[in-house]
Every structure is written in structure tokens, then in C-alpha cells.
Structure 1
Amino acid sequence: MARSIRNGGSVPVADIASGEIVRRGRRIRIAGDFTERDAHGVRVTGAGAADVSYEGDALVIDTSGLAIGGHTVLVSGIPSLGKEKGRQDAAFDVIVVDTPAPLDESLAVLHATRIRIGELDIESLPMGAGVEGEFRDVFKAVTRDGEKAEVLAFDQVGERVDIDEELAGLAQRRQERYGRVEPALFEQLEQGGEVDVAVWASTRDVDVPEPEKSDRRQTRKPSRVDAAARKQWAALGEKLADVGREYGLEPERIDQAAPVVYGRMPAEAVRKLAEHDLVAGVFRHDREGIDDLNDSIAIHNSDDAHTAGFTGAGVDVAVYEQGPDVTTNLVISGRFETPGSTSSHARMTHGIIRNSQPNRPHGHAPDANLFSANSYDLDAIRWAAQDEGCTVISQSFHRSAEQTSDSLSHDDNYKDWLALHWPFPTIVEAAGNGTSTEFVNHKGYNRLTVGSHDDTASAMATSSVFRNPKSTHGDRELPEIAGNGVGVTVVGLTDSGTSFAAPAVAGIAACVQEAAPVLKSWPEGTRAVLMAGAWRNPSGGRWRADLSAGVDARDGAGTADAGRSTSIARARQNRDNAGALRGFDVGTLRSADLDGSGRTAFRYRITTPRTPLFFGSHVKVALAWDSKATRTDILFLSIYQNTLTVDLDLEVRDSSGSLVASSMSWDNSYEIAEFDAKAGESYDIRIRRWSGTDDVWFGIAWTQISTLFDIFGSVQTAPVFEIGG
């Protein structure tokens, strides 16, 4: 089905959908009542040059000269064939890739990734020419009416391959190599001696219902199900500790929130313990932390949120790291340890969220209740969440192995688990600072990892880490969002790093949760609102275009924006709403919610105003959901594996049913779709479940950025000033 590039009656149409992925060299045809001179009115943005010609009554765009990546095709002065007379402008997006794959033009290809499958891992590769050796190009495609979805996979010479079979072979080889032992710990065992471990118990024979929470209001206390589950985890931990002693494990602590036992044991006994039926996984337990080295209130528009009355009041926020060395200008509601270890680094991370320094801004959430989880021990973050009920937690340190490991650590698994249980905290973490060879330090699915940008949100800090972890389809993308971490001055100190970007985003999250208290119990919704509100991209490219071209992006969804995000949070919408400029929703996605095509039977509607003063807008939609962070059965073996059991995608269609935007990655727990909207138009947002059958919690959010707002609004005119200092 050809895609209309303009609303109205009989209008010119392109033979691709907006945002479609095409092979370089594809000739895009725009049919309509054109003349030869109309070819001069076509412009294609981005690097490279497109050849535009007139053939018959159609304009033809040859993409051979375009660079790999996202482009926008602008058609100026096209003849109007609808009710409106005269000539108008139109635009649509396209993503160009180099691939040997013979893509079927009857399908709309909406996501692409290139991977090399090794003996034990997967390497992600760019979708450009000149890649040597074997590789696989894998695509998500749908029929042009959107009713059917299909995976397409080809090798380096364009031959079709069974990618599921090849990935299953990789999984089997990894299982045979590592068993239930975390790869990072497995390599450490070769050194011998004693090792610190975190042992997860198998829950195969434990029948515990899923945690419960309301999608209409904050869940203020643990449900009976949660309370019963904690007792079962504790009993399971005691049993596991007894088993561990038989293999030389010296248990040090049984976790109060998850079925985990911490201790120390001989390296040579780890593999034997991992084979026990009661064990789901054995992980490296790192006890030390490394701090991740002027947060501008204005650059994040937190002052706009404060002016609107959202200052984080009533929201409990914790900083998880050492405690502040000086508390003179801080307001701390509680501490994990007294006195505990301290640092000036922690003084800053606390102060960025809330401080009381005279004659200075008092942080991004100046009225939040601030707690200090002042220890590197994981029990400190458990205390912040489950003892103090903190619904926002900021972390600005990492374990030493996390910067060199390409997979999830025990800390990642544990914090993803915490996010799935009362009080369902939104956990915000610093991406880390280092070189291009260092991995993003925090790799969990159910949290937000934050990169660092400059004081104008126009460039990412050169030290902000962005290298992605390994993933099944090679398209995992971290960090998820960015904050100002360059030259931050607060409570008498100045420093730079992602350490100071993370608490800025955490403070904004507190303002968002004050604006919509239900989000205190929905980290999925908080994540979606923050990503939808992030309308500026400091590194330049849009999230989806970079991802599909195989570009490792630095800034995720873009710069967090408190003003826009709190506006979204004030506009809760229901399924099948009448239409709104902005909004959000949270809930549980079940199989019963889907139609025969795998898409939701319900939809969320966006409408744009018809006023002549409205010059158009850019629309951004974000979807977030969870990893189960639980046991998986592989080859009849019960193993702890934190993976996405459900793959969700986004699509947006206009009132004629034409696809205007989509986001269809494989390995992320979020999707971001963007498009330029037309005045007086209505758009439908729908979720497609690409794979999986589990019920899953989700959050969805959208907003529009009007030209008028950007020209005259406070976003562009607000002065930049420091947080104290």
C-alpha cells in the first residue's frame, strides 16, 4: 500500500512508508499530478546527494548517492489534488542502509541490524559497505497494511538464512561453556583461591503470584502477595545457604528482597554448586564501588516545572553511594548507616537533587524527601526501596568489572528485580566516564542509564560512555537518556561527569512523580514520560535512525526536560482517548488486548490544532516495559537469566491509515518513534507485540513540540544559571 505524503483527497503518494528502511540505490517513486519542473522542488536532507528525476507523472528519487543513516525527503510546492487549492509542501523520512539482502519491496522494512555470530558471543556491526567476513543482516518487516509481520535474515552474499536456528545454536554453546555460572565469574575462577559470590535460588518449585499494583493510583504499601513472597524468598534463601555450606560456601547475608545468598567460597567448588537443582545462577559479588565522576536548572527546564508547582514535594528520593562529607547545606531525611563512609562526590550528588544553600537554586527537586543510602553494599539500595519506600533512586558509582564486561552483572539483575517489587522504584544511574572501549556501566532493562552533555545540550561530553553491551540481535542501545554533567557547581564544589547528570534526571523524575503520583509505582511510565519529553538530541541523530544504521548513539532519547515531562505527566489519557496533544498511560498488556495481527485492539490518539498560527510540530512517542528478571528454562536446565520475555514495538498511523512513524528494535525494553505532524490531523498510536506471551507492565507517553513554542516559549529564552556554588 503506497503511503500518502499529504492529507486530503486524491493526493501524491510515495511507494514507501515514512521511516522505512531502504537499500542504498533504491528508487523511491512519488506518484501524482506532477510536471517536470516539480523535480526541482525536491530536497533530501542529510549527508550525500540524491538524484531526482521526472518520469511520466511521477517524481523518482535515486538514493545511490545518499549516506548511510536517516534522511528527510522534502517536496516543496506539490500540486494540491484535494479540496485545498494551490501548491503545498510535504515531507517523509527514510533510512538508507547498505545491504546485500534482496529486500522485497512489497514489504515495509522497519528495523535493521547487522551481526556477526561467534563461537560464544555476538558482535554488532554498522549497516554500511566495506564490512569484511561473515555477517547476518536481520530485518523486521510488515505488510504494507500492517496486518502481518515477518523476520528477514540474509548472509553477506544475500542468501536467506534461518536466524532463529543460528541464535539457538549460540545459546546452546554458551550453555555448554558456562552452565549456570556468570561469564565474568567463570573467567575469574581460572585464577583459583576464594571468590565472593551471589547465589540465586531456583524458583522452579516455588509458586509465588506476580507482584500487584494499581494503574490508577500509587501503591502505598506492599500487597499481601508481596508480603507472602518475601517470606518465601527468605525461606528459600535459608535452604540455599544450607546447601551452599556443603560446597564450602560461607554465607554472609541472606537477602531480604530476593532469593539470593551472599558469601565467599573456593573457586574450584563454584561449578559444582552451580549444578545443584536449587541453584539458578552464581554471580560475581563485587563489594567495592568506583565513583563515576553546572548542572543547569535552566537547560533541563526544571525552573519551568518548579514555576508550575512541581518541586518533588511528597516524593521520597534516595542517593545510593557513600554519604556526603559535609551536610551543612543538605537536608537528609534518613541514612542507611551511621556514620558510614563519606566523600565530596556524594555531597554533590545529594545537592544536585536537593540542597539548602542560601541564595542559590535548591536543586532539581527542592522539596523532595532526600535519603542517603550511604554504602556501596546492595543492602543499602534495598533499604532505600523497601524499608524507606523511596520511589526514585540515583546511583553514581559502578563496580570495577562493569566497565569491561559486555553482559549484565549481578547488580544489574538485582536492581531490575527491585524495580518489579514494591515500592517499584525508578532507578537512575550514571553511564560512566572513560574511553570508547569501556562499556556503559549499568546494563539493566528496568531502569534509566544517563549520559552527560554540555551546558547548552548541544554536545555530549567526550568522556561520557556509550558503548553498548552484547545482545541477541546486536541492537541494544544505551544510555537511555542524557543530562547536564559538565562543569556542575553545587554546595561549594564544581566537577564534571555522568555522576552529576544522573541525579539531575533523578530530580526531574521526582517532579514528574509529583505531577502524576501514580507514576511513583510505575517506573515504566516514569521512564516513558522522561524519554518522550527529551526533545533535544545533543549528539545530533534521532534514536531510531541511528539504531537502524548501526550507529552507536551517545545520548539515548536526548536531553531530559522537566518542563515538558511534567506537562506530559499532567495529561493522563485512557485507552481509546478522544485525542490529545500530549499524554501518558500505564497498565498491563495482556494477550487479550491484542488483535489477530499482534497489535493492540486499543489505541492512543494524538490530535493537532487547526489554528492558522500553528505551523506544525514534531511528535515524539516513547514506550517502556520490563524484563522479568527471573528464571529461564534452557535445554531442560533451570538458570537465572535476566532477559526480555516480550518484544513490543510502536507504530503511528494518520487518519488515512498510512504509517507515519514506527520503532521496532529487538533487544531494548523501550521504543521511540518520532515524526513531523500536520495541522488539524489525527494520529493513532498502537503497540505491536512482536514476540512473547507474558503479561507485562508498560508505560507510554507522547508530546508535541510546536514551532511557536520553540520560538516564543521560555525554553529558548530562559537564562542559564548554576545550582549553587
Structure 2
Amino acid sequence: MARSIRNRGSVPVADIASGEIVRRGRPIRITGEFGERDAHAVVVTGGGDAGVTFEGEALVIDTSGLTIGGHTVLVNGIPAQRKQKGRQDAAFDVVVVDTPAALDQGLAVLHATRIRIGELDIESLPMGAGVDGEFRDVFKAVTRDGEKAVTLAFDQIGERIDIDDELAALAKRRQERYGRIEPALFERLEQGGDVEVAVWASTRGIDLPATEKSEKRPARKPSRVEARTRQEWTALGENLAEVTREYGLEPERIDPAAPVVYGRIPADAIRKLAEHELVAGVFLHDREGVLDLNDSIAVHNSDDAHSAGFTGAGVDVAVYEPGPDVTTNLSISGQYQTGSGSSSHARMTHGIIRNTERNRPHGHAPDANLFSANSYDLDAIRWAAQDQGCTVISQSFHRDAEQTSDSLSHDDNYKDWLALHWPFPTIVEASGNGSSTEFVNHKGYNRLTVGSHDDNAGAMASDSVFRNPKSTHGDRELPEIAGNGVGVTVVGLTDSGTSFAAPAVAGIAACVQEAAPVLKSWPEGTRAVLMAGAWRNPSGGRWRADLVAGVDGRDGAGTADADRSTNIARSRQSRDNAPALRGFDVGTLRSSDLDGSGRTTFRYRIKTPTAPLFFGSHVKVALAWDSNATRTDILFLSIYQNTLSVDLDVEVRDSAGTLVASSMSWDNSYEIAEFDAKAGETYDIRIRRWSGTDDVWFGVAWTQISTLFDIFGSVQTAPVFSLGG
């Protein structure tokens, strides 16, 4: 429960920014005309012991006894002295780490990661003591006024190092080893024989105008630029097909949506093919799939969204996996291939989104138009998006190699590509079920990966996969969000797994897109709205604090909430808006939008309600954007790499300009900032471009949870029941 905030007297001021990362043992000073008796009023939550002493009218917190990770410092209950007004209570967050680096206290350190750079890979390590061997501690920091940003990096003995040089050397070693061949395919070559591959064509020399999206209404058909682009890709694919024949590959299909050719090729010919100037990348192409094994309408508050009139009406949604065995209680508007399926698994995943079962809940999006992309073939998801115009797609299977590979697969690259082209679908995927050694099965940037939690959003399922893929700075964090996948009962079946959490989130996404139709063309905005609305954390910790401490988060942003998210979607805000309780916006971020510090010249304004004396609110902000999912020029070669060409961060400041929250990871396509807010205060959200120069589509969203509502409101006290009753 958020503590009370009395709006009177002077405000205690700390010598760190809220959310700052501090080296364990670094003292924190809080000034505010304190007396020696006031030391009792400081409480530090989060684990460990914090000694508080009085030194020269300041209260000093000793952090040496605190555990690694996030803490909240509360200054509360200081009485008025004589006739003076009592001092206002205060709270601020801090993240404690163990590092050999001597951090400059003239800088506010706002993100940290520890990595070990190997010959070909990067290992992510916890920011605690006892880590043996060489490692690198890398920090994002800003000057206290926020105007200048700087990257700091140190080795295991605290010496400054040039991390950019070391990462560039690693990239060169990987290039020399793999060239244009996907690492998973490269390892497969040792087995010999024929291999099924997907070959991406180089787009070097092709200069097409950028696709534009309306920020006011959904795109109901491909633009002229999009149509021209598809023609270019088709022609490029045909040229590539001719080239591949020279190396023993007989093209089985030229993709109509991307410059990709599919076929079988002798393993010993792949290295030579990869050297051709028209080839940007060669990837393993797996045609088979492995199904990922109760959704609760109440725990996601979908019934409240339905009562408010948001049922997914007018939104086209697809389920991508082999077709259902029985369609009696399903309402399917179209299917990729004719004929009945054989999957009871698919019967459930379809039914969780929409079903017609009598006297039972009819799914998370009971009035959506439901399509069945009933095949493991990638062409089925292309059909759902580009032939049927589906703006939400749910997938609950994975390829075999995706469990053990720590990098993006061809499927990941292809689906990220689809999200960047009409109809710009929001693709929602199950994270997988397995052991702690299994990687999150879907690792793309432009989609949502979903973990599974129990019926009360109190704990994540023990087999819900959460192991992060490797990334440049070691701070990639998946899954992005969580849904109920334990003991789902629907259309006469009961089962558990992330398979059934993903369609729940997809159904909620359809309700969100009905509430704000512009989001049909903005998966960036849909992602941001869903993550901002996910106010409960089944695994306990806040996203950012876990990330900085090196804790592999299990639940992403938290539990998807249909009621909270549709309320956000109903409150579209513009840049430099009048302060609002909640809201979202979408758009294109360009260099012309930024000032000299790399921050946006525009802002989004939050206004907290003037709550009763005892209650404050918790604010959550989410920012999402895209990878480029296209070629990158490295060492004069055109190579297919799905990378984040732009690194965005988010910061929140109060009306006095004081930083109250931030999120500044390196390797994610989203950021989540949250804080306990003061009643009746105004806050500004600003985006900072840390690196890159490309224009990029983005979505931003925020909401707040009133403590009063969450204690006495219907959300916490609503009965929990299965989707199937």
C-alpha cells in the first residue's frame, strides 16, 4: 500500500535521483532541517539492514548492509517542531549493486549491466559480489541536470575501459566466423546432407521511400509505397532464386511479402552461396512446430472491459497453428487451408479468444472476427496478415531449435518484418514451457512474448520459460508480459501452459484495438498500452529493479489487464497534452524532435488526482518501438541483421524538474518506468534517444493505480472463475 503524503512544510531532499543506481556502501544523504530524533522516521524496504544516522542536519543512510536490487526509502512521520509546519513525507527508489567501479557522484547512474565478453558470445552476469574471472560493468549515466548523457565501462578491478572497442572486436570475430550464415545453421553444416534454408536477398542499392502510417486512423489497405515495395521484393526474390539454382538449391517458394527464397540445398554449398553479393543471410528453415502447453476472464478483468462495451468487435484476429479438431463451439471467419484439423490444442487457443459455447464465457474478444492460420508454414501467418488483414495474431507453438538457440531465428526475423508492413499486426506469442535451461522460444523485437501465471496472478507457472537470449549488453529481458495459462477450461477441454496465456493476451489486444482503432496499425502502441496496463507483478519484483540487479524476470511487465488497458486506449493524448490521469500516443520519432541532449522537445503530461489524505497512487509508464528487421552494412558487406538501430529511454520528472523515474536499458525495444506518485502533482514524460539516428515508430502509454481503488475496488475483490465456467 502506498504511504500517505501530507502536502505541507519543506520536502526532504536526497543527494541521489529517484531510481538511481548506487554502489553498495555509498552513503545517501537526506537534508531537510532534521533533528537527531528524526533518524527513526527513515525506513528502507527491499531487504537487508540500513543504518541511519544524524550528521549535521542531514540523515545519512548506510547502504553497506542492503541486499543487491531495488529498495524504497521512506521518510515518514516526522513531527512538527515548536510552531513550525511539519515536513512533508517523501519516498524515492534506489537500486543497490556491487561493483568495483568508483562511480562519479556528480553523475546520476540510471542503468547498469554486467557482462563477460567471450570469443564469440556475451554472458550476462548478476551485479553482485563473488563473480569470478573477467567481466565488464557498463553504466548509463546523466549529469545531475539531465542535459548530458554518458556511457561508463569498467573491468573487474575497476579500471575504465572502452566498451565500444571491445564490442566492435567481438562483432568482427563473429563476422569472421559466421559471415552471413545464421549461427544455428552454421553448426548444422557439420552434419552434412541437404538442409532446408531461407535465403534473404541483399537490398543494397534499392532505395525505396519509407512507409508512412497515419497517426489518426488505421490503414485499411496497403499504401502505394507498400504496394511498390512488395513488387520490388518479388522481383528481388526472383533474381535471388536464379542465383540459388547455381549452388544446388531448387527454390520451393519465393515469399511474396519479403525478399526471401525457400528451398533445400547441400550443406557443403551453403558457405559458397553465402558469399554471393545478392545474399544478405542464410537461415535454417524449420517447417515443423512444437506445441507449447486456466485462462481466467476475471483475473484479466476482461469481463469489466466487455461490460464497458469492448469485446473486440471489428477487429480481425488470427490463430497461427494447425487447425482445431472440432469447430462446433467456434466461430471462424476464414482459414488458410481447407479441411478439418486434428488439434485439440488449437480448439482451445481459438476458443480462448472467441467461442460460442452456451452458458459459458465467450472468450476475451467474443465479438472479434476470428481467422484460423491453420498450418505451421510461415506462409500461413503471412496469409493472416497480408491477405486477411488481421491486426492481432496469436501463436502458441515454436520450432525445435528455438528452445536451445540463444539468438533470433528466421521465424523471429520474418515476423518482425511482418510487423513493419501492412497491416502492421500485433503478434502475440507463447514463451514456451520447459526447464530453466530453455530459452524463451520467441525472441523478436516487434512483438509480445507471453509467460504464464496462476488463476490469481499471484505466481508464475513453474514451467513458464523466461531465460533471456544473449544480447550485446546482456540486458535483454523476455517475456514482455504475462497471462493466465494455468488450468484453462474452454470448449470442453482443460489444460495448462503458456499456449493458453498467449491467446488471452491476444484477445485483450483486440479489445484494446476496438477501444482505439488507430492501434490496429500501430503494434508499438498496442504493446505500450498492454504493458502500461499490466499493474500486477506475479513474480514480485518491479521490471527495472530486477533488470539492473541481473535478475532474470519471469513475468515481464506483469499481468495483462483488459479493463486497465482499454481505459488507457480510450484516452488518446497528443504531444504536450493537458495533464491527464492516463493516456497513450503513437507516432514517428525523428531527429528533428530532439534537443541537444537527445531528449524530445515535446513531452507527455501526467496529472495525479487529489486523493484523500491517506492515499497516493502508483504510476506506470511504458514505451515501445521497433527494430529495423532489415540488412545492415558491416565491413563493406550487406548482411541481414535484425537489430535495434535506435536505443530509446524514458524519464519522468515532477513539476519541480526532479527526476522521479526512468528506464534506460540497452537491448530491449521497450522501457518500463514506474513510481509512487504524490497526490495532485503533475509529471512530465520525455523520451531520450541514447543512440542511433534512424526515424522510428513508437508508442507510449501511462496509467496510475489509485491505492484507494485497489483496496476497495472491484479489481481485487472480483471472483475468479475459469473461462469455461
The interval holding the TM-score normalised by the smaller chain is: over 0.9
Aligned-residue offset at 1:411: 0.1
Superposed CA deviations along residues 274-296 of structure 1, whole A, max 9, x for unmatched, are 10000000000000000000211
Residues 165-224 of structure 1, C-alpha deviations (whole Å, 9 max, x = no match): 000000000000000000000000111000000000000121222222101111111000
- Contact 1:79/1:88 (<8 A) preserved: no
CA drift at 1:12: 2.3
How far, CA to CA, are the matches of 1:153 and 1:194 in structure 2?
Answer: 45
Counterpart of 2:64 in 1: which secondary structure?
Answer: helix
- Asked whether the 8 Å contact 2:319–2:374 carries over to 1, the reply is yes
Equivalent runs, 1:158-177 vs 2, <5 Å: 158-177=158-177
Partner of 2:142: 142
Output the amino acid matched with 2:682. Answer: S
Q: How does 1:334-345 map to 2 (within 5 A)?
A: 334-339=334-339, 341-345=341-345
Asked if structure 1 preserves the Cα contact closer than 8 Å seen for 2:353 and 2:503, the reply is yes
User: Residues 376-412 of structure 1: CA distance to partner in whole angstroms, max 9, x if unpaired?
Assistant: 0000000000000000000000000000000000000
**Structure 2 residue aligned with 1:47:** 47
**Match of residue 392 from structure 1:** 392
AA partner of residue 321 (structure 1): E
How many residue pairs get matched? 720
Q: What is the Cα deviation at residue 708 of structure 1?
A: 1.4
Q: Distance in 1 between matches of 2:308 and 2:445?
A: 32
Query: Deviation of residue 157 (structure 1)?
Result: 0.3
Supply the distance in 2 between the matched residues of 1:689 and 1:698 (Cα, whole angstroms): 12
Q: What is the CA distance between 1:7 and its match in structure 2?
A: 7.3
- Deviations along 1:555-583, whole A, 9 cap, x unmatched? 00000000000000000000000100000
Matched residue type, 2:458: S
Distance in 1, Cα, partners of 2:8 & 2:598? 29
Residue in structure 1 matched with residue 568 of structure 2 by the alignment? 568
Change (3 A) 1:228 1:368: same
Give the letter for the 2:452 counterpart.
S
Correspondences of 1:381-530 after superposition (within 5 Å): 381-530=381-530
Partners of 1:611 and 1:344 in 2: how far apart?
Answer: 50
Structure 1 residue aligned with 2:590: 590
For the 8 Å contact 1:80–1:88, the answer to whether it is kept is no
Cα deviation for residue 615 of structure 1 reads 1.3
Report % sequence identity: 86
Equivalent residue number for residue 258 of structure 2: 258
1:101 partnered with 2:134: no
Question: What's the offset of the Cα at 1:86?
Answer: 2.5
* Corresponding letter in the other structure for 1:501: A
SS of residue paired to 1:356: coil
Q: Which runs of 5+ in 2 are unaligned?
A: none
Cα deviation for residue 156 of structure 1 reads 0.3
- What is the identity, as a one-letter code, of the residue corresponding to 2:185? L
Between stretches 225-234 and 72-81, larger displacement belongs to 72-81
The answer as to 2:589 corresponding to 1:607 is no
Within 5 Å, give how 1:315-354 maps onto structure 2: 315-339=315-339, 341-354=341-354
User: Once the 2 structures are TM-superposed, how far is the Cα of residue 595 of structure 1 from its aligned partner?
Assistant: 0.4
One-letter code aligned to 1:444: G
Change (3 A) 1:73 1:198: same
Distance 1:700 1:115 in 2: 29
TM superposition shift of 1:341: 4.0
Kindly state the Cα deviation for residue 88 of structure 1 after the two structures are TM-superposed. 3.5
Shift of 1:239: 0.4
| Aligned equivalents of 1:514, 1:179: Cα separation in 2 | 45
Distance 2:593 2:717 in 1: 44
Cα gap change, 1:126/1:645 in structure 2, threshold over 3 Å: closer, same or farther? Answer: same
Amino acid at match of 1:198: A
- Which position in structure 2 is the counterpart of 1:662? 662
**Distance of 1:674 and 1:684 partners within structure 2:** 13
Please, what TM-score do these two structures have when normalized by structure 1? 0.98
**1:551 partner amino acid:** V
Where 1:165 maps in the other structure, the secondary structure is: helix
The Cα offsets for residues 453-484 of structure 1, whole Å up to 9 and x where unpaired, read as 00010100000000000000000000000000
- Assess if the C-alpha contact under 8 Å between 2:577 and 2:604 holds in 1: yes
Measured after TM superposition, the shift of residue 612 of structure 1 is 3.2
Q: What corresponds to 1:218 in structure 2?
A: 218
Say yes or no: does 1:240 pair with 2:240. yes
Q: Summarize the Cα distance change of 1:411–1:84 in structure 2 as closer, same or farther, 3 Å threshold.
A: farther
CA contact (8 A) 1:320 1:396 kept: yes
1:373 and 2:377 aligned: no
Q: State the AA in 2 paired with 1:619.
A: V
| Shift of residue 614, structure 1, vs aligned partner | 7.1
Task: Kindly indicate whether residue 67 of structure 2 is the aligned counterpart of residue 67 of structure 1.
Answer: yes
Alpha-carbon distance in 2 for matches of 1:22, 1:79: 30
Task: Check the 8 A contact 1:614/1:706 in 2, yes or no.
Answer: no
Asked if 2 retains the 8 angstrom alpha-carbon contact of 1:22 and 1:96, the reply is: yes
Any unmatched runs of 5+ in structure 1? none
In structure 2, what residue type is equivalent to 1:387? Answer: D
The DSSP-based 3-state class of the residue aligned with 1:415 is: helix
Q: 1:69, 1:97 within 8 Å by CA — same for their partners in 2?
A: yes
| Secondary structure class of the residue paired with 1:217 | coil
Deviations 1:568-609 (A, max 9, x none): 000000000010000000000000000000000000000112
AA aligned opposite 1:370: L
Q: Distance in 1 between matches of 2:84 and 2:197?
A: 70
Q: In the alignment, which residue of structure 1 is the partner of 2:706?
A: 706
Tell me, what secondary structure is at the counterpart of 1:609?
Answer: coil
| 2: CA distance, partners of 1:425 / 1:207 | 24
Whole-Å separation in 2 of the counterparts to 1:7 and 1:247? 75
- CA 629–309 in structure 1, closer or farther in 2 if over 3 Å, else same: same
The question of whether the paired residues in 2 share the 8 Å contact of 1:6 and 1:90 is answered with: no
